[in-house]
Structures are given as C-alpha cells and as structure tokens.
Structure 1
C-alpha cells in the first residue's frame, strides 16, 4: 500500500495550500510516477466526477440562494427574527441564530451565511457593546445551522458520495438543525446574563406587528417547506427541486416582492459561479484522489483497522466522532465529506448503522470543525469581515462549540432524533 500521496496531501494542507490543489498535486504525481496506470485516467476521472444527474442539485440550489439574496428576502427575515427574539437578553446575538435558521433554505452554504450574517449583524452587535470576538463567534457558530437545514450543500454532497436519498437526508437534518439552534441560543442567553448584554427592546413586539413581520417574510419561509413537501409527495426529485427552486426564487423576487431587477443578473451569476466552481473543483480533485485510495486499497485497510478496534456500533460512532472533529479542524467540511464518505460509510453500514443517520452525524461533525482552530473556515470568514484577529473569535467560540458538541452527542446516541421525520414522511 503506497501512502506517500496521502502524506504529501497532509503536508500541502499544513502549508495552507488550497484544498483542491492539495488533492490534485499528489494525485497527478501518483498517476505520473507511482501507478501502473495510463496518465489519461487522471483527466478522465476529473471529468467523469461531474457527470452526475443528482449533483446538478448543487448549482441549482446555490443559484436559487443568490437570487433570493438579491430579492430583498434577507432583510425581511431579519425583521422577523428581530420581532421574535429582539426582547431576549443578548437580543441581537439571538437574532443571529434565528436568522441563520430561517436562511438555511436560502443560502445552502454555511460559509456564505457566515459572511452574510457578519455583514448584516456584526457591526450592530459591536456598536451595542458586544466584544468584537464574541460578535464574530456568534455569527460563525450560528452559520453551522445552515448545514443541517434543507438544502445544505454538505447533505447533497454526502448523498451523492454515499448513494443515499437526498430527500431523506434533507428531512433528517431538520430536527438536529433546530437542536443546534436551541443549544446555541441557551448558551448565548447564559453568557449574555453573565456579561450584562442588553436586549434590543424592553418588551416583545405587539401581536399585530409580529403578524406583519411574518406576512412580509412568509414567501421566504415557504422555501424549505416547499422543498420537503415536493420531495415527500414525489412531485419532483431532489435535482428537479433545485431547478424549480430557481424558478420559485425568480417568482418571489419579481412578482411577490417586486425587488428583483434585470440589473441584478450579472452580480447573481458572478456570485453563483464563484461559489459553485470552488465546490466542483474540490469534487473533481477529490475524485481523482479517491481513485488512488481505492486502487491502493486504503479504504479497505482503514475499515479493517476500525473493525479490529471494536465491533460495537455505538463505540465505533463515538470513535468516528472524535476522528471527524479532529479532521474538521484541519480540512474544509465539503472536502472532508468527499474524502471520507467512501471510507467510512462501508464500515458503518456493515455494523448496521443507518447511512442517513451517519450522514447527519458526519455533516454536523465537520461543520462544527468549521468554527474550531486552526483552520476553522467559518471563524476565519466572520473574523475577516469584522476585521478582528481570528484568535479572539476562536476563544469566544469555545462555550458555544461545547454546547454544539453536546447536541452532536445527543444526535449520535439517539438515532431517532434524525430518523424520526424521514421515517414518518418518506416511508
């Protein structure tokens, strides 16, 4: 078994080389120097990885999110979130959590959500006396919720790599997503009380005002419901849901809110293409690297090692959780899903662990890694937008990350937390 490509990949990642290049360089060298294979296979594997109908859901949902952001939907969701929790202790920080939960069906990307929340709420939190590091930590941790609410990019990629139902994964992520939101809000409340952070307002808004905010944002709130209902009743496939979501976003922006303009098209296309290309390049690079691992029987060796350590499903899941938390600290979540799914899913499935349940655990695990040092892409995104040292963000994130790990443990120990809704709605 040849391991030097894996070691080279780790060295490149440690040297802060972009993930795609860290995967492509060892793969190309392996095909060129180390493998008794035609070099043409390298290019063939890169191209063939994109030849997937289910994977079309990814660019469609990203495009829909960009359209909705340009249509004034985010502003309406912010007003609704403020109406719900603005009177809580630490109200602005709580608004960040609620807004991230509602935006899960719009952005599909935790990184995009972190940047958006930092721009929208970060300066206001700092103006109201929140420490800069705490404001960035709240934004970064809140954005992890997006990964679990349909249509999270991590769920789509895992479904593609593990050959499981995207619809079931979408529905399975809903309850864990709300649990993460509740865990973060409770932690923020405790921190806010201890530090004396103020609420945005002294009392809850009146019911008529809350109703107006809700009605103003109702079209945006229907997006996740629209996706789940359509998948449940077989109206469309997950891939078709992405395309229909684009049309729905255009309808909402032009007919319902009347804010989507022809002049927005260049910016929408630019943002969507930039986001999609990054993910697709990583997928192409990871496919070639995965082919090397399969050719050298690396997944089989790792699977055999794990099963020799324990055959108890629960203990194995706990070991994998620790492993994934560590991996998530160093490798961006989507790239890690692409790399590790072909290795870990056969092992867990052989021990009777539901692949949908494991998918939720894996995506949640690696997303938590996005706010953890040293690589923590979500924390770096929030820190760069608010122009503060990432070390401050990491330090302030610690109690919130601990709360999220407790939720992760709960989801791991109680499979029905993720499987209840798919069982009820899809079977």
Structure 2
C-alpha cells in the first residue's frame, strides 16, 4: 500500500496529468499484488462508469454550456446591477450576485470564474479596483456554484457516496445564499476601507417596477434550480432525467424565449460539453483502479479507526477532515478529491452519526476551494491568465475572501440545521 501512495505522490510532483497519476499508481498496486487477477483492473475501469445516475454529469455540462450561449448571463447581469446600484463596491457586488444567480446555470466554478472575469474584469479595472482584488473576488465568488444546484461536485459526491442527489441539491441553497451574503459584507468592508467604487450621490434606490421589469426577462434562469429540486423531490424525474430535462429546458428558453440560440452556438456548446465530459469521465474511469486498491488494502477502515481515535466529537472530526481536504485541494484536482476521498471519509461520517448530506455540502465548499488555491488551482490560472495578473497579487488581495468563506464553513459545521433546513422541510 505504501508503494501505491508513494507512486501517487511522485507522479503528482513531477507534473503528470492527474488522470494518469491515479491510473498508473493504481495499476502499480495490481502489478506487485499477485493475488488480484489483471482482469479485475479492466473490469474496474469499465464498471466505474456503469451507473445510470452518472448520466446526470454530461447532461448538466451540456445544459450549462447551452445556457451560457442563450443570453441568460446578460439578463442576470442586468438584474445584479440593479440590486447593487446603491452599494459600496457596486461593481464588485455585481460580481458576487452574478455568481449566485449563475450558480443555478453553469454548475461549474471554473466556468463561472472564466465567464465573469471576461465580462466584469475590464469594468472593475476602469473603476479603480486592483487587478489582484478583481481576480481574487472573481475566483472566490465562483465558489458559490459549489453548493447552489445543479452543482457538478454534488452530483459526483452523491454518485460515489450513494447519497441522495435531490437532498444535496436542496441542502445547498441556504449555504449558497449565506456565502453570497458573507462575501457581499466582505466586499463592503474592503471597499469602504480602500475607497473602491463608492456609490454616486445621484444614484437612486431601485423601484419595485424596475425590479419586476428585470425579473420578467431573468425569471427563466432563476426558476431553473427550483424546478429541478421540486421535480426530483416529488418524483417527476430522477437526477439523471433532471439532467436531460435541463438540456431541453435550455434549448426551449434559448430558442423561443430569448431567441439567441443559433445552430452555431448549439454546435459550440455540444463540442465544449463533449470535451468537458471526456476529461471528467477519463478521471472517473481510472479512479476505479485506485479506489479498488484502497479498498483492497483496507485504507478506509484504517483511516476511520485512526480518525475516530483522535476525537469522538462530530464537529471536531468534521473540522479535521475539512482541514485535510483543504490541504489536498491545494495539490489535487477537486473532482479527483471527491472520487478518491469520499469513500474514505463517509465511513467515519456514518460511524459518528453525522448526516452525509450536511457533510457533503461542507466538503464540496472546501474541495472546490482547491480550484482557488495555489499551486494547482485551475480557476486561478484561468482568471489570472485572462486578466494578466500575477499569482502574488491574487494571493495578497484574496485573503479576506478566503477568511470569510472559511468562517462561514465553520458556522455550517457547528450549526448543521442551517444546511438541513430545506431538506428536512421537503423530505
């Protein structure tokens, strides 16, 4: 087992793509263990993808790409600008609210961050925000998509851990909006302190009529996550069927409501979805080898016994596991962390009678934060690359947002009723 972990670390350090790291490390364990026939290796690669619920992933990826091509972003941006018109750090507040509204559309933190830095980055520059502040805020606000449905991370967690995806979707709503509030407060404090983008004296508060006019065009995007949760809860469709519904919904809204979905944009969305799905499914397939090796070596039981031996306090145990996830998130892709660590941590969660839905929301927030932390964070390189900003500036200006999000997660850990309020209401 030490060979498996050593090989994994060595390959990761030398910069090999993560899918090959977990595949080769798992294959190495099979190579030295003569008790396991090689046919099992092939079977694990194939069987890892043979799940009906896994169909939700490519469907939601395609739906997210379609919705980004239908003009939904433009209408949500207009609504966000209206709401933040009288706030300190107005353009930065738009960034936070737009991520919250887009959480139910894109389902991907990296996609959300890349889209927002292109739309809001130049405007934030013109308003006097430092580039590092713009990139830090854009990355951390995209973290909201980790919990607001349809989060791809929650789908993978539910798929691997056999946890209700419908309950996970419902549980993510309140933490998502709470994170929005926390980040908006952080923006207000930092903007007042540094004098960023004060509201103009002649700007007026938005009226009820203005709000209704904006909602008329953006309501179709806002209804999307609500329809998904209600549909899954009341048995209109399974999570996989919800993904197919999302694709049809995006096509209908883009074609007949916003009238901005063209053949060219449809093909572009399909192409991007195929590329994204191929990357994710390749990691998932090869993770079957690694997961089998971990299970065969009794690593989940060993880790469970070790962690329970440290403390029997559920809250402290969750904080320990989240701390470990934060560190691994700095080195390993978030999807890989979900696939490899969920089977290890869930037995501990079950043993201590922690609700796996509540743990999943906390885990997804911290794991997705790995996209925003150096040295491996993909969202950092997307945002800083587009906006031509140094990683040092990003780290300097993003610290207040990291601290505020971590404080929110601590609150969720000690007050699980915040997370479980809607699932308990619906289920």
TM-score (norm 1): 0.96
The structural deviation recorded for 1:232 is: 2.1
| Partner residue in 1 for 2:335 | 334
Structure 1 counterpart of 2:409? 408
- Please give the secondary structure, in 2, of the residue aligned with 1:164: coil
Query: 1:287, 1:226 → 2: CA distance?
Result: 33
Per-residue Cα deviation, 1:273-303 (whole angstroms, up to 9, x for no partner): 1111111111112221011111111111111
Where in structure 2 are the equivalents of 1:21-420 lying within 5 Å?
21-199=20-198, 202-420=203-421
Gaps of 5+ in 1: none
Unaligned runs of 5+ in 2: none
Q: Distance in 2 between matches of 1:285 and 1:82?
A: 44
Distance in 1 between residues matched to 2:291 and 2:184, nearest whole Å: 39
Give the CA deviation at 1:203. 3.1
* Range that drifts further, 137-146 or 178-187: 178-187
CA-atom RMSD in angstroms: 1.4
Q: For residues 79 and 295 of structure 1, what CA distance do their matches in structure 2 show?
A: 54
Q: For residues 55-88 of structure 1, give each alpha carbon's deviation from its aligned partner in whole angstroms, at most 9, with x where no partner exists.
A: 1111111111111111111111111111111331
User: Can you list the C-alpha shifts for 1:85-125, whole angstroms capped at 9, x where unaligned?
Assistant: 13311111111110111111111111111111111111211
Question: What is the CA deviation profile of residues 340-394 of structure 1, one whole-angstrom value per residue up to 9, with x for unaligned ones?
Answer: 0000001110111111111111111112232222222222221112121122112
Q: How far, CA to CA, are the matches of 2:395 and 2:279 in structure 1?
A: 25
- Deviation at 1:401? 0.4
After TM superposition, the score normalised by the length of structure 2 is: 0.96
Query: Equivalent residue of 2:50, what SS?
Result: coil
CA gap 1:199/1:236 in 2 versus in 1, 3 angstroms: farther
Aligned length: 425
Q: CA deviation at 1:35?
A: 4.4
Higher mean alpha-carbon deviation, 136-145 vs 4-13, is at 4-13
Write the distance in 1 (CA, Å) between the matches of 2:235 and 2:298. Answer: 39
Separation of aligned partners in 2, 1:15 and 1:404:
31
Q: Distance in 2 between matches of 1:142 and 1:50?
A: 31
Deviation at 1:200, TM superposition (A): 6.5
Q: Distance in 2 between matches of 1:264 and 1:325?
A: 37
**CA deviation after TM superposition for structure 1 residue 424, in Å:** 0.3
Residues 379 and 394, structure 1, Cα contact 8 Å, conserved in 2: no
Whole-Å Cα distance in 2 between the matches of residues 37 and 270 of structure 1?
39
Alpha-carbon distance in structure 2 between the residues aligned to 1:155 and 1:301: 26
